Amino acid sequence: MPTPSRRRQTRPDAPEAPDASDAPAVSTPRRRATIHDVAEHAGVSIGTVSRALNDRAGVHPDTRLRVLASAAALTYDPDKAARELSNRRAVDIALSVAHGYRRLTPFFGLFLQHLSEQLAVEGLQVREVASGDDGLPVRDADAFVLLDAHPDDPRIGHLARSGRAFVLVGHAHDVRCVAADDVAGGRIAAEHLLRLGHVDSVHLTADLHAQAFADRAHGFAAAFEAAGADQPTTIVADDASTLGGYRAMRAHLEGGTRPGAVFAATDELAIGCVTAAADLGLRVPSDLSVVGFDDLPELGARLTTVRQDIALLARETVTLLHEALAGAAVRAVRLPVTLVSRGTTAERRNR
Amino acid sequence: MPTPSRRRQTRPDAPEAPDASDAPAVSTPRRRATIHDVAEHAGVSIGTVSRALNDRAGVHPDTRLRVLASAAALTYDPDKAARELSNRRAVDIALSVAHGYRRLTPFFGLFLQHLSEQLAVEGLQVREVASGDDGLPVRDADAFVLLDAHPDDPRIGHLARSGRAFVLVGHAHDVRCVAADDVAGGRIAAEHLLRLGHVDSVHLTADLHAQAFADRAHGFAAAFEAAGADQPTTIVADDASTLGGYRAMRAHLEGGTRPGAVFAATDELAIGCVTAAADLGLRVPSDLSVVGFDDLPELGARLTTVRQDIALLARETVTLLHEALAGAAVRAVRLPVTLVSRGTTAERRNR
DNA sequence: CGATATCTCGTAAACGTTTACGCACGTGGG
DNA sequence: CCCACGTGCGTAAACGTTTACGAGATATCG
């Protein structure tokens, strides 16, 4: 076995360890182990270590085990910069939320989490989450993910004109985009409610300017029409927050009408709605059935809702990102939604 | 002048450009320019390019200009992975929000934005924003920033025990942490209100278990006591959302008491409070003065509030991060707050 | 039993940057 | 006029990975 070539250590700055005593004191911010350390520890070469850790073929099972053990013993964590550099994978992806983090809805928060997980799997990185006050991404990047965009968002035209790779999470014409099938979502919410006998439903939404909300409303209304039922009343809240939903619903209920069910365009609106009903002494679901949209984990643990698969949304986003980078043809994808029936809907009571 | 050594291009995969025709079509996802391209374009060496672009000494002004022009012409953007690798700056910083992005408050959203800007200035990266459902960061990193932590958050003990570098944004004993001076904030809110003649104020808050809220309440009450005024009533909302503030305040106002002023522990609570007052026909500020906390840009454009400097908070966080990495002594820092008086407070009316 | 295929692994090049070092020019003073 | 020196720049090493290539060892086959 050839002696492992000594690591070169020529750079003369080394500002880290003030006392370079070799004993690794318990809480010393220890130097990160590199692949060389693992190789030395396991008595193999760095090539073998890399192959073993990346599940590449051509390494003996025993050796692999030994390498894995060494890596664990040294708490080896591959340097991401080096890996990216070597992989030619250094794709900068800028995430552009219309107004930065500050207006991040729980839905987009969850999406972000899935997206960065998905990208991490491929060794990619979300490099930036920001946009200037003009809404334009503040730095240059190889690809952009646009959140929260109206069809006429200035960012779309800007990115398209400059030939940048980007994908829109939402829906618009002639751009690469991905979104849940909102129309279908509205429809299955309606069908669920109709099946329970609720012909007197209302739709609680906000800002029908937003494509997603318009589509959900449309799907909902269309299903009622198809069933020969009366068109549902639409209530438009000031915004899509829980407070918006609460006030709009409370005002509506206090107006004297007592719908048997409400389809909220968002889980947040639904929560506001449920809260308003409770404050007015109405029991959910016996007095009022409520269907939400999104299926956010902890927000509506007990909410009957139209579920969209956020993990899938993130995966599709990444797929489209790759297509954009490769210069493929523009494509719009619609993701299926399902109704998950939980505790906030029940059969219509006779009054 | 020595001929610039031809770039090596030996790697045989090159899955990118299907047709390697040299003419750069307008919307072709062009190969990123590297420092070598800039060097060739400007007729200098890569070392000179690097020095010119990084404002290092030892490059002739004329040359510098030429390099800058070439870089601009090629839209050169240095590869971050390579830069980090070379710089030994590859510090992985994990941001740990108690429950991931999903419960990100506007305040923390804004903080995140400032933090990543601040880190970007130093060439550092926030590598991950996530934590598992157990609240523990999901990957290993060189340093951690903990958000949203109660003093007895399990993450603190875990990180401390394992000797990791971390800083807590908030306040707890015996850990490196940074937060606004919440007690002072409560005090100046009280002093502002007292100055306007409001001796019958209430405090709207949520979850006094949270250190920040407890401190704000304490500072507020202490100032009233110091002024010889009656202790303010405290209203505890279900949560710190706008809806929480709305419901708590509405219930209180409907209970018959009509305080002249309220100090909300959060701008969000304050918004809910203002909305509740409006819905009950009370005018702000003539019927009810409202003071918030945080000074979130678009949320409370017209809100009188206790301002904390979020950019400063981010800068201090980075400073502490460096100290943590360097193994310095633990230190807790308190940031000053100021009262910004806007449209939601007025002098007490005689009734 | 010798030639050859197969498996395992070590070596080195490459990714794109920063920076220490040294060389070739000048310019100044003795 | 020569030497010392400063200025501007090119060269190459280094950061920590991945991976093509080739070499040695072992197994397989004629």
CATH number of the domain to which B295 belongs: 3.40.50.2300
- Residue A20 — very low, low, confident or very high, per pLDDT cuts 50/70/90? very low
Better pLDDT: B43 or B112: B43
Identify the pLDDT of residue A100. 54
- Residue B40 — very low, low, confident or very high, per pLDDT cuts 50/70/90? very high
Identify the pLDDT of residue B100. 54
The three state secondary structure string of B126-189 is EEEECCCCCCCCCCCCCEEEEECCCCCCHHHHHHHHCCCEEEEECCCCCCCEEEECHHHHHHHH
Residue B102 has pLDDT above 80, yes or no: no
Residue B299 has pLDDT above 80, yes or no: no
Give the rounded distance of the alpha carbon of B284 from its chain centre: 30
Identify the pLDDT of residue A2. 38
Q: How many other CB atoms are found less than 10 A from the CB of residue B225? A: 13
Residue A196 has pLDDT above 50, yes or no: yes
What is the pairing mode between strands B304-308 and B289-294? Answer: parallel
Better pLDDT: B112 or A63: A63
Identify the pLDDT of residue B80. 81
Answer yes or no: do A99 and A154 share one domain.
Answer: yes
Instruction: Enumerate residues 118 to 137 of chain B having a beta carbon within 8 A of any beta carbon in chain A.
Output: 120, 125, 127-130
Mean of pLDDT values over B295-309: 86
Residue A267 within a domain: yes
In DSSP terms, which residues pair with B129 in a beta bridge? B95
Backbone angles phi, psi at B166, to 5 degrees: -155, 155
Instruction: Enumerate residues 247 to 306 of chain B having a beta carbon within 8 A of any beta carbon in chain A.
Output: 247, 271-272, 275, 279, 296-299
Residue B163 within a domain: yes
In DSSP terms, which residues pair with B45 in a beta bridge? none
Q: Which residue of A has its CA nearest to B138?
A: A117
Residue B176 has pLDDT above 80, yes or no: yes
Answer yes or no: do A186 and A300 share one domain.
Answer: yes
Q: In what order do the strands lie in the sheet with A125-129?
A: A125-129, A92-101, A143-147, A165-169, A177-180, A332-335
Closest listed residue to residue A96, CA positions, set A343, A317, A260? A317
Pick out the nucleotide with least CA–C1' distance to A90. C15
- Residue B18 — very low, low, confident or very high, per pLDDT cuts 50/70/90? very low
DSSP letter (8 states) at residue A198: -
Better pLDDT: A321 or A17: A321
Answer yes or no: do A189 and A277 share one domain.
Answer: yes
Residue A216 has pLDDT above 90, yes or no: yes
Residue B195 within a domain: yes
Closest listed residue to residue A298, CA positions, set A334, A268, A333? A268
Answer yes or no: do A207 and A251 share one domain.
Answer: yes
Residue A12 has pLDDT above 50, yes or no: no
Identify the pLDDT of residue A98. 67
Answer yes or no: do B173 and B192 share one domain.
Answer: no
A327/B contact by beta carbon, under 8 A: yes
Identify the pLDDT of residue B111. 87
With an 8 Å Cβ cutoff, are A101 and B110 in contact? yes
Rg (CA), chain B: 27
Tell me the one-letter amino acid at B322: H
Q: Distance between CA A93 and CA A81 in Å, rounded? A: 15
Question: Protein A45 CA to nucleic acid C7 C1', in Å?
Answer: 17
The answer to whether A63 CB sits below 7 Å from nucleic acid chain C is yes
Residue B116 has pLDDT above 70, yes or no: yes
- Residue B165 — very low, low, confident or very high, per pLDDT cuts 50/70/90? confident
- Residue B4 — very low, low, confident or very high, per pLDDT cuts 50/70/90? very low
Residue B98 within a domain: yes
Residue B42 has pLDDT above 90, yes or no: yes
By C-alpha to C1' distance, D13 is nearest to A10
- Residue B209 — very low, low, confident or very high, per pLDDT cuts 50/70/90? confident
* Domain enclosing residue B44, as ranges: 33-70
With an 8 Å Cβ cutoff, are B163 and A241 in contact? no
Identify the pLDDT of residue B16. 34
Q: What is the mean pLDDT of chain A?
A: 83
Q: How far does A350 lie from chain B, in Å, by closest CA?
A: 31
- Residue B90 — very low, low, confident or very high, per pLDDT cuts 50/70/90? low
Q: What is the mean pLDDT of chain B?
A: 83
Residue A62 has pLDDT above 50, yes or no: yes
Question: Protein A208 CA to nucleic acid C23 C1', in Å?
Answer: 71
Residue B2 within a domain: no
Residue B329 within a domain: no
Tokens of residue B83, six digits: 């830069």
Q: How far does B156 lie from chain A, in Å, by closest CA?
A: 15
Query: Is the bond into B285 cis (omega within 30 degrees of 0)?
Result: yes
Instruction: Enumerate residues 212 to 251 of chain A having a beta carbon within 8 A of any beta carbon in chain B.
Output: 241-243, 246-247
Mean of pLDDT values over A205-209: 90
CATH value at residue B44: 1.10.260.40
What is the pairing mode between strands A304-308 and A337-340? Answer: antiparallel
Identify the pLDDT of residue A137. 52
The residue assigned the tokens 């005002």 is A251
Pick out the nucleotide with least CA–C1' distance to B47. D10
Q: Distance between CA A104 and CA A248 in Å, rounded? A: 22
Mean of pLDDT values over A185-213: 94
Among B112-121, B221-230, B252-261, the range scoring the smallest mean pLDDT is B112-121
Residue A58 within a domain: yes
Q: Distance between CA A247 and CA B26 in Å, rounded? A: 52
**Top-confidence range, A119-128, A152-161, A192-201:** A192-201
Own/partner pairs, A286-290, CB within 8 angstroms, 24+ separation: A286/A346, A286/A349, A287/A258, A287/A349, A288/A259, A288/A260, A288/A261, A288/A262, A289/A193, A289/A196, A289/A198, A289/A260, A289/A261, A289/A262, A289/A344, A289/A345, A289/A346, A289/A348, A290/A261, A290/A262, A290/A264, A290/A344, A290/A345
Residue A252 has pLDDT above 60, yes or no: yes
Residue A28 within a domain: no
* H-only helix segments in B10-60: 35-42, 46-53
Contact A201, A232 (CB under 8 A): yes
Answer yes or no: do B198 and B139 share one domain.
Answer: no
Answer yes or no: do B133 and B227 share one domain.
Answer: no
Answer yes or no: do A95 and A206 share one domain.
Answer: no
Looking at the 3D structure of chain B, how many domains does it have? 3
Q: Distance between CA A176 and CA A153 in Å, rounded? A: 14
The residue assigned the tokens 């949304």 is A313
